[in-house]
Structure 1
Amino acid sequence: MNIKDEILVIHKVFESISNKVVSETDDRVSKTFKISDLPNHKDFTIDVNAHANSRNIFTELDKIKCDCLYWFDLKTVEQAKELNNLLNKYRETNIKGTESYRSVPATNKNDNSNVLYVGVRRGGYTKKWNLTNITGRINQHLGYYHNGNTQGLQLIHFAKDCDFDITINVIKIENPNSIYLNIIEKIVAQKLKPLCGRH
């Protein structure tokens, strides 16, 4: 069976989609904050969504109930590398099976990008936590989720003293069929070259 032409058409479609995701800012929700301003979680008793220092991160995310693609970036490649180096040091003392263990993204070979991490989240709303799925996922990346086995950046656990800005970029993918979400994520990650996470 020769489906070369059809695959080429599909490739062009996904290239076009990923170019839009990376370059068009009109539909992007971007929230910048200082990592050092994040509140201590105090054994996960702090509601980061409602805390004065971080509420602005979640105001718009709380309204998004569709699938999303998101990434964390920093102003410079040097800052992203510094944060990734801190994450790598954290990995050395972050021992699986211990009470303090937190699952973090895998290492990769990218080393020249201001993007730290790229991910996707299926749409939805969790009544138990009164959160949209994307808000819950960003909470996990910030390090405010009590279950350490849920993978995320866990920023509060290793980067609290970093006094530079990090930006969360969220693209709504309003698509009735989520099977393409991971394909789009992989192609976008190839373009943005995040310093951690496997794609």
Structure 2
Amino acid sequence: MDITPKSQEILKTVMEKCGQVAKPLAHVARFGAKQVHTFIIDVDLLPEFPGESLRVHAAHSTVFDELADIKRPVVYVFEIVSAHSSKSVRDAAKSYKDKVLRAMPAFREESKVDYSSRVLYVGKVSTKSGFLARVYQHLGFWGAKKTQGMQLYHYARGLELKLELTVFEFEDDMADLLPILENTIAVHLRPLLGKHQ
């Protein structure tokens, strides 16, 4: 069957879009992320919830000041750096999720979890103002219980859990391409929590 005028129009649109995304992808392929940030978060040093603001809390105020300055699209990775087994951290999160108190990430079937991975979660944020808020959600300091996040404060405080948060910051023209990067990184790192298989 010959190509129709309608399908030719669609193909032209696809080709134009591919041309638009090729440039930022080529830039990242050559130079990498705009910036890479690394932070250590000690869950036991988080303030009482609800209570003192994370932003001014002495133990992490510098971290949150730096996080607030990140305004570009990001892909981020939370990794366990304390001596905990991956299974013990995932089990604590699963136990909390089973109580249905606050929205949590997806949990894969036990048989599909790779406990040799130390990566807890891989995510992305494409908006200019949303990254610090997303970190708050993961730490469990977001007011709305239905906003999905790891909710770390609510099950990991008292475990002496320390996490390394690595943030890959990209130029604004990469915002629409973050799902591809997030999925690629997650497939490689095999996070313990989240939708990635």
**What range describes the TM-score normalised by the shorter chain of this pair?**
0.7 to 0.9
> 1:189, 1:83 → 2: CA distance?
18
How far does residue 193 in structure 1 lie from its aligned partner after superposition? 0.6
> 1:188, 1:49 → 2: CA distance?
29
Structure 2, unpaired ranges of 5+: 4-21
- Specify whether residues 77 and 174 from structure 1 end up closer, same or farther in structure 2 by C-alpha distance, changes over 3 A only: farther
How far does residue 77 in structure 1 lie from its aligned partner after superposition? 8.3
Mapped pair 1:110 → 2:113: yes
More helix by share: 2
**Secondary structure of the structure 2 residue equivalent to 1:176:** helix
TM-score by length of structure 2 reads 0.77
**Secondary structure of the structure 2 residue equivalent to 1:106:** coil
What's 2:95 paired with? 89
What's 2:45 paired with? 37
What's 2:176 paired with? 179
Answer yes or no: is the 8 Å Cα contact 1:78–1:114 preserved in 2: no
How far does residue 59 in structure 1 lie from its aligned partner after superposition? 2.1
TM-score by length of structure 1 reads 0.76
What's 2:76 paired with? 70
State the number of aligned residues: 169
Answer yes or no: is the 8 Å Cα contact 1:73–1:80 preserved in 2: no
How far does residue 186 in structure 1 lie from its aligned partner after superposition? 0.4
Residues 77-107 of structure 1 deviation map (CA, whole Å, 9 limit, x = unaligned) = 853322111001112222xxxxxx2000011
- Specify whether residues 28 and 80 from structure 1 end up closer, same or farther in structure 2 by C-alpha distance, changes over 3 A only: farther
How far does residue 76 in structure 1 lie from its aligned partner after superposition? 6.3
Mapped pair 1:49 → 2:71: no
What's 1:120 paired with? 124
Which structure 2 residues correspond to residues 115-194 of structure 1 after superposition, within 5 A?
A: 115-125=119-129, 133-194=130-191
Residues 30-87 of structure 1 deviation map (CA, whole Å, 9 limit, x = unaligned) = 1112111111113xx4311111122132121111111010010012685332211100
> 1:184, 1:33 → 2: CA distance?
24
**Secondary structure of the structure 2 residue equivalent to 1:69:** strand
The range that moved more, 26-35 or 49-58, is: 26-35
Structure 1, unpaired ranges of 5+: 2-9, 95-100, 126-132
Question: Higher Cα Rg: structure 1 or 2?
Answer: 2
